[in-house]
Amino acid sequence: MGAAILDRARAWLAQDPDEQTRTELAALIERVEAGDEDAADDLADRFDGRLQFGTAGLRGALGAGSNRMNRVLVAQAAAGFAEFLRTRDPEATPTVVVGYDGRRNSDVFARDSAELFAGAGLRAILLPRRLPTPVLAFAVRHFGADAGVMVTASHNPPNDNGYKVYLGGSDAGSQIVAPSDADIAASIRRVADEQSVSDLPRSTAYEIADEAVIEAYVSATAAVGPAPEGAAGTRWVYTAMHGVGWETFSRVLEEAGYPQPTVVPEQIEPDGTFPTVAFPNPEEPGAMDLAFATAAASGAEFVLAQDPDADRLAVAIPAESGWRRLTGNEVGLLLGRRAARAAAGTPDASLACSLVSSPGLGAIAEKYGLGFHETLTGFKWISRAPGLVFGFEEALGYLVNPETVRDKDGISASIAFLELAAEARGRGATIADLLDELTAEIGFYASGQVSLRVEDVSTIATIMASLRAEPPAAFGETAVERADDLLQDPARLGGDVLRYALADGSRVIARPSGTEPKLKAYLDVRGESAEDSAARLVALEQAVRELLDRLS
């Protein structure tokens, strides 16, 4: 290992205000100096590069180093972001709202950020306690703020944390997009290269938001779907997945008039160690097992699960053998149909979804006379669709209330879904019946996903390069009619996405995950019947798995 890495590590150690990461890094440097090769590899991994802004700002594992989440990196990010905001309008005093969830160090990173924003001359408002990400997104608009920062890693593994950035003004409280992301990254890099964190000005003259902003969010969200008559007596189960959703969600439920659920007691309180799940993501196998057991014991009609920062929603319903979690596409299409019915006849109203989500939303928009937009993945793009009344992406994210929250929101989506379930219940129907009704309207769509989790993220780039060098001619026995590389398509803004249109009307889309070390392949088919579409999907999944196994 070069001396440059050791020099970077020593310089980092000198400015680190955190005793835990100082101790961790000092011990690692000492081992390297003693000739420990494993320690040298570890140090190189920590300092050979920096965490960069991606789909959700900064996100990575906690630990010492420029390639980890820690107080030095967060301080540099806050100071760089402050510089970016000041240069946008040198005559103004920007306002920034800061929120945080229940993960390890979220509160520390949030307070550091508030102090650094205040020290840089900004008006900084810190939310009063750990709260869901949608509350922060709402607060940016509620306060008319120039920006917002949410300290969260959402549904990532327990040792991760992150720094999610929103912009107000003309961005209307949406997440950052180009060119702002690159400009912020450049400002952060200037701070990191030119200043020690210990020399950055700090101030405790930041504001603590009062309960009024939370009450305003609760009221606005309850208004998304007040309980209809069929809600009375509903038996359902809820899990917060060890996150921060329950306190706020329970207040919304009460104001909207829904019966309280049976909660999963082991997962209802915030706990950053996530003791009952390997990954606190309701998409992951086993993550909802406790919820299913609670539902079976209580005779529940359905299960709702929010991820740890409550910006995503998972739904499960009874099946012949246990419980079936609905796909994000199924929930998205049900909520999209709900929104389309409400917006039918509204000039310029539109639905939007990411390009990897079900094309069924376009069919819904066409049926109800609405516009339709297909965007790059991420709600920073979906939220900017013109005339948006509803947007979703298949990874359990739904934007149902764009006038108040310009991001995915698992709490407002839960209220919208409860309204659907209650209305169906009032006429003697179930959620499964709603899915059948949807199919009768738009046809037999089926979607699936094949994910390849890797230890070394360079494996993903290698696979994508192989697919570009030798595009597959077929998946199984079905020929590829067209292959699109979105890096070469200016209209798609250069997304690292490969899309294949198949001869039978199916499609396969491959892209790296923006938040996890995964390569994801999204599959969509449309068949002549439920059985036909299911069979087509199974065959396509097998073909995609065989291809990825061969390339990896």
The CATH number that applies at residue 449 is 3.30.310.50
Note whether 205 and 92 are same-domain residues. yes
Burial degree of 111 (CB within 10 A; 0-12, 13-18, 19+): middle
CA distance 194 to 186: 12
Note whether 68 and 167 are same-domain residues. yes
Tell whether the model's pLDDT for residue 1 goes beyond 90.
no
Of the candidates 377, 422, 420, the residue with the CA atom closest to the CA atom of residue 400: 420
Q: Tokens representing 537?
A: 């999907």
Distance between first and last Cα of the chain: 28
Residue type for 342, please? A
Return the HEC string of 435-504. HHHHHHHHCEEEEEEEEEECCCCHHHHHHHHHHHHCCCCEECCEEEEEEEEHHHCHHHCCCCCEEEEECC
Instruction: Please check whether residue 544 is in contact with residue 444, taking contact to mean a CB–CB distance below 8 angstroms.
Output: no
Q: If phi over 0 gives left and psi between -120 and 50 gives alpha, with beta otherwise, what is residue 333? A: alpha
Helix axes 19-33, 3-15, angle to 10 degrees: 160
Q: Could you tell me how far CA 163 lies from the centroid of its own chain?
A: 12
> What are φ and ψ of residue 23, in 5° steps?
-60, -45
Instruction: Please check whether residue 100 is in contact with residue 203, taking contact to mean a CB–CB distance below 8 angstroms.
Output: no
Q: What mean pLDDT is predicted for residues 294-311? A: 98
Instruction: Please check whether residue 448 is in contact with residue 537, taking contact to mean a CB–CB distance below 8 angstroms.
Output: yes
- The catalytically annotated residue of 154, 357, 358, 414 is 154
Of the candidates 246, 156, 218, 208, the residue with the CA atom closest to the CA atom of residue 404: 218
Of the candidates 152, 136, 147, 151, the residue with the CA atom closest to the CA atom of residue 209: 136
CA distance 145 to 221: 20
Number of residues that make up the chain: 552
CA distance 496 to 487: 6
The per-residue pLDDT for 377 is: 86
Note whether 310 and 363 are same-domain residues. no
**pLDDT single digits (tens) 377-425:** 899 999 999 999 999 999 999 999 999 999 999 999 999 999 999 999 9
**pLDDT > 90 fraction of the chain, expressed in percent and rounded:** 91
Helix, strand and coil percent figures for the chain, each rounded to 5:
45, 20, 35
Separation in Å, CA 136 to CA 142, 256, 438: 9, 21, 34
Residue 513 pLDDT grade (very low, low, confident, very high; cuts 50, 70, 90): confident
Residue that is last in its domain, among 260, 291, 323 = 323
Tell whether the model's pLDDT for residue 497 goes beyond 60.
yes
CA distance 540 to 538: 5
Which distant-in-sequence residues (6+ apart) come within 8 Å of 226 by Cβ? 256, 257, 419
Structural domain tally of the chain? 5
Instruction: Please check whether residue 220 is in contact with residue 255, taking contact to mean a CB–CB distance below 8 angstroms.
Output: no
Tell whether the model's pLDDT for residue 84 goes beyond 60.
yes
Angle, alpha carbons 494-454-49 (nearest 5°)? 65
The per-residue pLDDT for 493 is: 53
Note whether 78 and 147 are same-domain residues. yes
Burial degree of 15 (CB within 10 A; 0-12, 13-18, 19+): middle
Mapped onto helix, strand or coil, the DSSP state of residue 396 is coil
Instruction: Please check whether residue 218 is in contact with residue 252, taking contact to mean a CB–CB distance below 8 angstroms.
Output: yes
Separation in Å, CA 332 to CA 1, 11, 56, 315: 49, 48, 21, 11
Note whether 408 and 505 are same-domain residues. no
Note whether 124 and 254 are same-domain residues. no
Q: What is the dihedral of CA 457, 458, 459, 463, to 10 degrees?
A: 120
Instruction: Please check whether residue 102 is in contact with residue 84, taking contact to mean a CB–CB distance below 8 angstroms.
Output: no
Note whether 199 and 78 are same-domain residues. yes
**pLDDT single digits (tens) 130-166:** 999 999 999 999 999 999 999 999 999 999 999 999 9
CATH number at residue 220: 3.40.120.10
Mean confidence (pLDDT) of the chain: 95
Instruction: Please check whether residue 351 is in contact with residue 364, taking contact to mean a CB–CB distance below 8 angstroms.
Output: yes
Residue whose pair of structure tokens reads 């995609």 in the numeric block: 544
Burial degree of 469 (CB within 10 A; 0-12, 13-18, 19+): exposed
Note whether 183 and 62 are same-domain residues. yes
Separation in Å, CA 474 to CA 283, 394, 449, 519, 544: 29, 25, 18, 19, 10
Sign of the alpha-carbon torsion through 520, 525, 530, 536: negative
Of the candidates 426, 510, 416, 440, the residue with the CA atom closest to the CA atom of residue 471: 510
CA distance 117 to 96: 8
Domain residues for the domain of 5 are: 1-48
User: What's the pTM?
Assistant: 0.93
Note whether 75 and 204 are same-domain residues. yes
Note whether 172 and 78 are same-domain residues. yes
Note whether 365 and 269 are same-domain residues. no
Instruction: Please check whether residue 285 is in contact with residue 279, taking contact to mean a CB–CB distance below 8 angstroms.
Output: no
Residue that is last in its domain, among 442, 472, 492 = 442
Tell whether the model's pLDDT for residue 495 goes beyond 90.
no
DSSP string, 197-248: GGGS---S--EE--HHHHHHHHHHHHTTS---GGGTT--EEEE-TTSSHHHH
Tell me whether residue 154 is one of the annotated catalytic residues: yes
Residue 552 pLDDT grade (very low, low, confident, very high; cuts 50, 70, 90): confident
The per-residue pLDDT for 488 is: 84
**pLDDT single digits (tens) 170-224:** 999 999 998 899 899 999 999 999 999 999 999 999 999 999 999 999 999 999 9
Note whether 14 and 105 are same-domain residues. no
Of the candidates 231, 233, 304, the residue with the CA atom closest to the CA atom of residue 267: 304
Helix (H) / strand (E) element for 134: namely helix 133-142
CA distance 291 to 104: 24
Residue that is last in its domain, among 285, 306, 323 = 323
Residue type for 433, please? D
